[in-house]
Structure 1
Amino acid sequence: MVERMLQFVRLEQRQPDKRTAEERRGDWNEVYNQFKPADAADQASRCSQCGVPFCSVHCPLNNNIPDWLKLTAEGRLEEAYEVSAATNTFPEICGRICPQDRLCEGNCVIEKGFESVTIGAVEKYVTDTAWEKGWVQPPKPVREREQSIGIIGAGPAGLAAAERLRILGYQVHVYDRYDRVGGLMIYGIPSFKLEKEVVLRRHAQFEAGGIHFHLNCMIGRDVTLAELRARHSALLVATGVYKSRDIDVPGTHLSGVVAALDYLTASNRHGLGDRVPEFESGALNAAGRNVVVVGGGDTAMDCVRTAVRQGAASVTCLYRRDKANMPGSLREVKNAEEEGVHFEWLAAPEAFEGVGHVGAVRSIRMHLGLPDATGRQQVEPIPGSAFKQPADLVIKALGFDPEDLPAMFGEPALGVSRWGTLKIDHRTMMTALPGVFAAGDIVRGASLVVWGIRDGRDAAEQMHAFVEAQTASSLAVAAE
């Protein structure tokens, strides 16, 4: 047992043992091994227990990080898990995929000079231990309520809301168009970052707690939004954003030029044991291919590292800005570089070339100019700097936009912003339709899993307040 905290002056930062790049290229297992108990306690003891914990301030969930680090350092793991789970529906998932270098760890008080506490790795260790020991229990209410809540979307926001509402006693029904629960956590994120069993066991846990899942259910096709509104006391739209952004250059129509989500979904389905004709035909399989991924976010990193594991002949990431301006996690970039991915910084595609099937990418060198209205440096092409590189599979990882939900749901009264996201009253999280709330990426645009969890939990509170108010109003009318 560690006797005191503030051990950063004595102990160096250590991540769990990292598997070699050669090992990682050959399988789909996670990059880091599990912490040993003594190592987790030591690393947790490095926390300075500062008066203003910037790690918590910069966590979207405002997790009580210093508290559960201290409990971990003292060997009180069950209590550490309870404190962590009090603010986070999926700490084992955030510990794996959150960009800690930009959030909690990047704002750690001791980071300047002593390196930050390994918050993410300790969070993962604590929650994985809780699962192994049986401390993670299904959501069980103190008393049952007769009102039911409908949730559209089984991604992070929808599941976080479902769990909170079930604990409050509501009869919760989750509707999702896919055949598995998890949204992008199951089909968008590769197994080497988030093993699928980690997501699937939450599905089983929530079902055991009485949450009802209606899968392969498309709103607007299998059931209308109007029917769901009539069926439930309140409704949450948490569909996420799935429409892939495109790039306006010649050759996007060529065979072999594919969207990132199509590519990642095919790979994940194949890994789950599904039959995927596009994977088997090679259309969405990088084996033996010269792969170019266009983009610089976390999805681009998922694509390049997936291509490596599929046995691509070469993998190049093409990004129009430099490494310092990359929106993705620098930890992911480092992992990709170790695994053999080549990065073409300050380069943007001008055209995809080929006859019927893509054979090369013609790109142009860029340089960073003056900042724009957002403060970010603009990118400008360098005349005469065009170059070509062979490519028989090009993956466009340019981000995601919302689908046209008013048209899909047959509800034109659903208001949308100029970006296509759902408009809500940000105080109540309610849309223009009374009793219909929205949360997650469909409101804020493509974002992080941790923000989806925060939005889902906040929406659950607002929906509970709405149903309580409606119930009180109905009772008052009945009493008159």
Structure 2
Amino acid sequence: MKARPFQFLELPRRMPREVPASVRVLGWQEIHGGFEAGDAAEQSARCLDCGNPYCEWKCPVHNPIPDWLALVREGRLFEAAELAHSTNPLPEVCGRVCPQDRLCEGDCTLNTGFEAVTIGSIEKYIVDEAFRQGWRPDLSAVRPTGRRVAVIGAGPAGLACADRLVRAGIEAHVFDRHAQIGGLLSYGIPAFKLEKHVMDTRRAVLEGMGVRFHLGSEVDGALGGELLRDFDALFLGTGATTPVDAGLPGQDLPGVLSALPFLVANARRQRGERMAADENFELAGRRVLVLGGGDTAMDCVRSALRLGAAQVSCAYRRGEADMPGSRREVKHARDEGVQFLFHRQPLAIEGEGAVSGVRVAASSVGADGRLVLEPRSEQVLPADVVILSFGFRASPAPWWGEHGLALDAAGRIRTTGPAGATSHPKVFAGGDNVRGADLVVTAVNDGREAGLAIARALATTL
């Protein structure tokens, strides 16, 4: 497609086909389809190529977005895929799950009156279609170095690190306790945001590049010591999975669930991997109340709908504008029938023998920004199931301390600089175990940078 100045005036922003809310809640497929080649080229042509690409700077991995938009417009798909992978080892994932409304698209120049370029959907199109047509990363010029690195955690940080290692000729061995790669990409984010065949394809691609996976492997102190001894370096991409404990009275009542175990159990059930430790989360016909306002809370409310809950509500202690998650996800949840209750501070979970509701107080924000509870405003929100989604903290392994790995007061790994070096000369880290709970794309960035740093270190000595 030939570029024309001010094409955005003729072509409105258009997303791929969206499955109607009344239909999509009946299944687990992604709610948006994919672009065809002509649609992707047309939407790419809306880019102004503004010279100072705010979209690129806002992106945590600094994708060269205008450049691969131009390649799509010109029909040069494989070159676009190569360029997308040059900065992002998991572009098809980020195209689906990044909060583009708060990142690249939120800073698109056209967002000031003409609606942003559909960057995320085009990124998804580039990789999905390139893979479908047979494109794969070309590592034919890579020469083995004889070096070996163990990557602990097959989530976004670990996969990004492994990608950069094998591109540098380093043997990457990835260890993870789950049966599939992806970490929370496979076992936390629901399929209506990221269908699991996407991760199956990525696994095949990474294995074709030379990455070796050791799945179903719990890395304890003994195995951790062996890996430190037998490998040239370690990368820790273990995430942050310990739930924040709000200390609510009654939170141990039957019917009170924690967000992450709920999502993981549901993902395992869909994959046919259900384990004895997974609780039986039967929600059909029940009133479900989710406490929290982030993306994980949105994953829970939207999953509850698909599991047949009769009523799904979300209570958040501040206003809608204060919610930490994606505005897009809140819209999807509301479209699907979720009821939102803002300015509700949970005080206790009520019930005798099982949960019956949550006692809350109305809240407002004081002049100093702190939450203020309104007097005589308490009420009980009825619920048969309550899901707690107050965020997550790092989950340090005991053996880290045994090997001198320095942690901060919150249990996060201390690193020096953006490349993930730690207090142990052979250990690097990145993602949520360093940052605390954060975005997929920031974990990808950390893993990429650590992989490059490890390669540089091993090229000399370590």
Give TM-score scaled by structure 1 length: 0.93
Q: 1:394 aligned to 386, 389, 413, which one?
A: 386
Once residues 164 and 233 of structure 2 are traced to their aligned partners in structure 1, the CA distance between those partners, rounded to angstroms, is 14
After superposition, the Cα gap between the structure-2 partners of 1:459 and 1:158, relative to the gap in structure 1 and judged at 3 Å, is same
Please tell me whether residue 298 in structure 1 is matched to residue 289 in structure 2. no
- Residue 61 of structure 1: how far off its partner (Å): 0.6
Structure 2 residue runs without a partner (length 5+): none
| Residue matched to 2:333 | 336
| C-alpha distance in 2 between matches for 1:387 and 1:174 | 50
State the 1:334 CA deviation: 0.4
CA spacing shift, 1:5–1:458, aligned 2, 3 Å: farther
Measured after TM superposition, the shift of residue 277 of structure 1 is 5.3
Please give the alpha-carbon distance, in whole angstroms, between the structure 2 residues aligned to 1:138 and 1:315: 47
User: What is the CA–CA distance in structure 1 between the aligned matches of 2:323 and 2:405, rounded to whole Å?
Assistant: 35
**Contact 1:241/1:446 (8 A) holds in 2:** yes
1:314 matched to which residue of 2? 311
Query: 1:347 is matched with which residue: 344, 347, 351?
Result: 344
Letter paired with 1:341: V
- C-alpha contact 2:151 2:174 (8 A) present in aligned 1: yes
2:239–2:395 Cα contact (<8 Å) kept: no
Q: Which residue of 2 aligns with 1:242?
A: 241
1:169, distance to aligned residue in structure 2 (A): 0.8
Change (3 A) 1:308 1:408: farther
Counterparts of 2:83 and 2:391 in 1: how far apart (Å)? 34
Aligned-partner Cα distance in 2 for 1:201–1:395 = 32
Letter in 2 for 1:184: L
1:175-194 correspondence to structure 2 within 5 Å: 175-194=175-194
- Counterpart amino acid of residue 162 in structure 2: A
SS at match of 2:386: strand
Give yes or no for contact 2:418–2:446 (8 Å, CA) kept in 1.
Answer: no
Q: Find the residue that maps to 1:66 and give its secondary structure.
A: helix
SS in structure 1 opposite 2:361? strand
Give the aligned partner of residue 379 of structure 1: 371
Query: d(CA) in 1 for partners of 2:143 and 2:274?
Result: 43
Residues 267, 285 of structure 1: 8 Å contact kept: no
- Looking at structure 2, the residues matched to 343 and 130 of structure 1 have their Cα atoms a distance apart, in angstroms, of 40
Counterpart contact for 1:141–1:166, Cα < 8 Å: no
Does structure 2 conserve the Cα–Cα contact (< 8 Å) formed by 1:150 and 1:234? Answer: yes
Q: For the residues of structure 1 that align with 2:16 and 2:247, how far apart are their CA atoms?
A: 43
Using the alignment, how far apart are the partners of 2:169 and 2:352 within structure 1? 60
State the Cα distance separating 1:409 from its structure 2 match. 4.3
2:286 matched to 1:289?
yes
CA offsets 1:20-49 (integer angstroms, 9 cap, x no match) = 011111110111121232221111111010
Distance 1:301 1:428, change over 3 A: closer
Secondary structure at 1:315's aligned position in 2? strand
CA distance in 1, matches of 2:414, 2:105: 33
Shift of residue 278, structure 1, vs aligned partner: 7.0
In structure 1, the partner of 2:451 is 460
What letter corresponds to residue 258 of structure 1 in structure 2?
A: L
Residue 437 of structure 1 is matched in structure 2 by 428
Task: Specify whether residues 277 and 308 from structure 1 end up closer, same or farther in structure 2 by C-alpha distance, changes over 3 A only.
Answer: farther
1:465 positional shift: 1.8
Q: Do the aligned residues in 2 keep the contact of 1:138 with 1:208 (CA within 8 Å)?
A: no
CA distance in 2, matches of 1:207, 1:81: 18
Deviates more, 1:179-188 or 1:224-233: 224-233
Q: Is the 8 A contact 2:173 2:211 kept in 1?
A: yes
Alpha-carbon distance between aligned partners in 2 of 1:40 and 1:131, rounded to the nearest angstrom: 16
Within 5 Å, give how 1:349-368 maps onto structure 2. Answer: 349-368=346-365
- Residues 2-13 of structure 1 mapped to structure 2, 5 A cutoff: 2-4=2-4, 6-13=6-13
TM-score (norm 2): 0.97
Work out the CA distance in 2 between the residues paired with 1:308 and 1:324. 24
Amino acid aligned to 2:205: Q
Deviates more, 1:203-212 or 1:440-449: 203-212
Partner of 2:160: 160
Please list the CA deviations of residues 95-119 of structure 1 after superposition, one character each: whole Å capped at 9, or x if unmatched.
1000000000000011111111110
Aligned pair in 2 of structure 1 residues 153, 121: CA closer, same or farther (>3 Å)? same
1:263 aligns with 262
AA matched with 1:285:
E
Matches within 5 A, 1:104-143: 104-137=104-137, 142-143=142-143
Change (3 A) 1:255 1:412: farther
Shift of 1:396: 0.6
1:474 aligned partner = none
Residues matched between the structures, number: 462
Deviations 1:110-161 (A, max 9, x none): 1111111110111111111111101134756621121111111111011101
Q: Is the 8 A contact 1:140 1:166 kept in 2?
A: no
Match of 1:224 in 2: 223
CA spacing shift, 1:329–1:395, aligned 2, 3 Å = same
* Alpha-carbon separation, structure 1, partners of 2:35 and 2:366: 44
What is aligned with 1:198? 198
Q: Paired residue for 1:374?
A: none
Q: Does 1:323 align with 2:315?
A: no
Report the secondary structure of 2:71's partner residue.
helix
**Contact between 2:418 and 2:449, CA under 8 Å: does it hold in 1?**
no
Pairs within 5 Å for 1:42-53: 42-53=42-53
CA separation of 1:453 and 1:5: change in aligned 2, threshold 3 A: farther
Question: Aligned partners of 2:167, 2:277: CA distance in 1, in Å?
Answer: 41
Q: Distance in 2 between matches of 1:214 and 1:275?
A: 20
Alignment-derived partner of residue 150 in structure 2: 150
Unaligned runs of 5+ in 1: 372-376, 472-480
Compared CA separation, residues 145 and 434, structure 1 to 2 (3 A): same
